[in-house]
Structure 1
Amino acid sequence: MNEKINVLDNGYVRLTNVMGSDLSVVNSARVSYDKESTELDEKDIRLIKFLAREGHTSPFRHATLQFEVYAPLMVARQHWKYIVGSDHTMDAWNESSRRYVTEEPMFYIPQADEWRSAPENSKQGSGSTIDIDEGADFTEELMDFVEKGEWLYNDAISRGICAEQARLFLPAYGMYVRYYWTASLQSVTHFLNQRLAHDSQVEIQEYAKAVYSLVKPKFPISIDELTRTEV
C-alpha cells in the first residue's frame, strides 16, 4: 500500500497499512449477540450511526490504520500531544532520530505570502496574512538562519562531533521529522476532530486534511459519523 498525499512544501502523509473496514466495526459490535455480517447493508449502516451517536466507541477500536508522516517538528509535536493525551489505547509512534540519522536535513520555510499576523483577541493561533513584501523579508531571514545552522551542523560532524550533539546546531521547529503513527479508527478521528477545527494551527490542519482524505475511502460510513468537523 502506498497511498500518499503531499503537504506543505516538502511534507507528506502516506497510508502504509489498514486493518479492517466499516464491516469490522459492525461485527465487533454484533459479536455480543453471536451475529456476523458478510456484506455491509442499510441495517449495518444504521448500527454504525447508532454506535457513534450514543458514544459506544469500543467497536471503532477494532480497526487500525498505519501512517508514515513527514512533517516539521512544530507539527509533529502538536500531533504527538493529542496521541499521549488520548484515552484511545493502542496507539504507537516511532520517529527517526538524529542520534543515528545524518541524512540531509529538510526545513519548512513559508513563502512570502504565507506569513501570518498574531491574532488580535487570543494568545495563540494566527490572524490574517501579512504584506507580501514584509513576508519576503521574513522568508529570506529564515533561509539565512537555516543555512547558518546547517553549516555549523556539518562543520561539527566533519570535526568529529557525535551526531546526537551536532544536531544542537540545527534550527529545530521547522526541521522535518519522519515518523510512523499506528492508531485505532477512534483515535484517528479524535485527532481529526481536534486538528480540523478552524482555530487549530494552519499547518497541522493541512496534515489532518490529508489524513482524512486517506481514511475516508477505507471507512466511508464510520469516518462521517465520528468526525464532527466538515472538511
Structure 2
Amino acid sequence: MSTIEVLDQGYVRLVNHMGSDLTVVNAARVSYAKQSLELNERDVRLIKFLAREGHTSPFRHAIVQFEVYAPLMVARQWWKYVVGSAHYEGTGDSLEAWNESSRRYITEDPAFYIPKAGEWRLQPENSKQGSGGEVNWELGVKHTQELMGYVELGISKYEAALADGICAEQARLFLPAYGMYVRWYWTASVQSVAHFLSQRLEHDAQKEIQEYAKAVLELIKPLFPVSLGELLGNEE
C-alpha cells in the first residue's frame, strides 16, 4: 500500500525512499571505517543509543518522499516544519524539500474540504486554540450548508473572472482559501519526518493534520521500523 486516503478527498502517497535502518547504522559507523551488511542486535542497540543520546545526523541519511493532497489549513501547518527544520535543535536538515502546486499556473477545478454535519467541533473551554467536543447535529447541518454555499459562490466568481480574461494568479483571490485542497511533494529525512510526527500525532494537535500524520506514520514505519520507533520514543 503506497497511498492512504485522508479526510473527504485528500491522500498521502509514498513516492520514493532511500535507505533503511541499516543506512543509519552504517552512516554512524563510517567514523570507525566499519560497515554492517545485515541489521543485527548490535546494530539495533546502536540505533537506540543514537536516538537516546541525540546523535541525530545518521538519521538524516535515510530519505522519504511523499505526495500529499490536503486542505490549505493543513498544508500551512505542515509547512512550518519545513521552514523550521534548519532551526530545530540538532536537525540542520538541509535535505528537506517542498514543491507545491500553484494556482498561478493551473486552472483545474478547485476542490474543497467541507466538514460533514457531525464533524464540526466546539471551541475549547480553557484554551485560545484547538477545539472541543462536537457541536449538535442541527448546528453542524447549518454550517455545512453555509460553507457549501460560500464555496459555490467563490467558485462561480473565480470562473467568471477567468472567463473575463483575468489572469489565474489574480482570479484565485475569489476562491475560499483555507479549505481549498493543494497538492505538494515533501522530501525529508527520517529524523525530520519523526519530528513532524512527534508534534502532529499529539492529542492536542488539530484533528485534520493528525489524520495526515497517522497516514505518514503508516507508510513510513515499515521502511524504518527501528529508527522511527526510537526517534518517537516507541510511543506511536
Q: Contact between 1:196 and 1:229, CA under 8 Å: does it hold in 2?
A: no
Instruction: Using the aligned pairs only, state the percent identity.
Output: 69
* Equivalent residue number for residue 53 of structure 1: 52
* Equivalent residue number for residue 176 of structure 2: 171
Structure 2 distance, partners of 1:55, 1:165, is 47
Structure 1 distance, partners of 2:161, 2:224, is 48
TM-score under structure 1 length normalisation: 0.98
Q: Secondary structure at the match of 2:127?
A: coil
Q: Secondary structure at the match of 1:75?
A: helix
Structure 2 distance, partners of 1:80, 1:94, is 11
* Equivalent residue number for residue 84 of structure 2: 85
Q: How far off is 1:229 after superposition?
A: 7.3
User: How do 1:66-215 residues align onto structure 2 when only pairs under 5 Å count?
Assistant: 66-87=65-86, 88=91, 89=93, 90-215=95-220
Structure 2 distance, partners of 1:167, 1:230, is 42
Give the AA of the match of 2:163.
S
Give the AA of the match of 1:116.
R
Give the AA of the match of 1:81.
K
The total of aligned residue pairs comes to 230
Q: Contact between 2:99 and 2:186, CA under 8 Å: does it hold in 1?
A: yes
Call closer, same or farther: CA 1:228–1:140 in 2, change over 3 Å.
farther
**Which aligned segments of 4 or more residues in structure 1 are displaced greater than 6 angstroms?**
none
Q: Secondary structure at the match of 2:12?
A: strand
Q: How far off is 1:230 after superposition?
A: 3.4
Give the AA of the match of 2:81.
Y
Q: Contact between 2:229 and 2:235, CA under 8 Å: does it hold in 1?
A: no
Structure 2 distance, partners of 1:20, 1:3, is 17
Q: Which runs of 5+ in 2 are unaligned?
A: none
Q: Contact between 2:12 and 2:68, CA under 8 Å: does it hold in 1?
A: yes
* Equivalent residue number for residue 26 of structure 1: 25
Q: Contact between 1:197 and 1:229, CA under 8 Å: does it hold in 2?
A: no
Q: Over aligned residues, Cα RMSD in angstroms?
A: 1.0
Give the AA of the match of 1:84.
V
Q: How far off is 1:11 after superposition?
A: 0.3
Q: Which runs of 5+ in 1 are unaligned?
A: none
Deviations 1:71-119 (A, max 9, x none): 0000000000121112232200000000000000000000000000000
Call closer, same or farther: CA 1:133–1:229 in 2, change over 3 Å.
farther
Call closer, same or farther: CA 1:186–1:216 in 2, change over 3 Å.
same
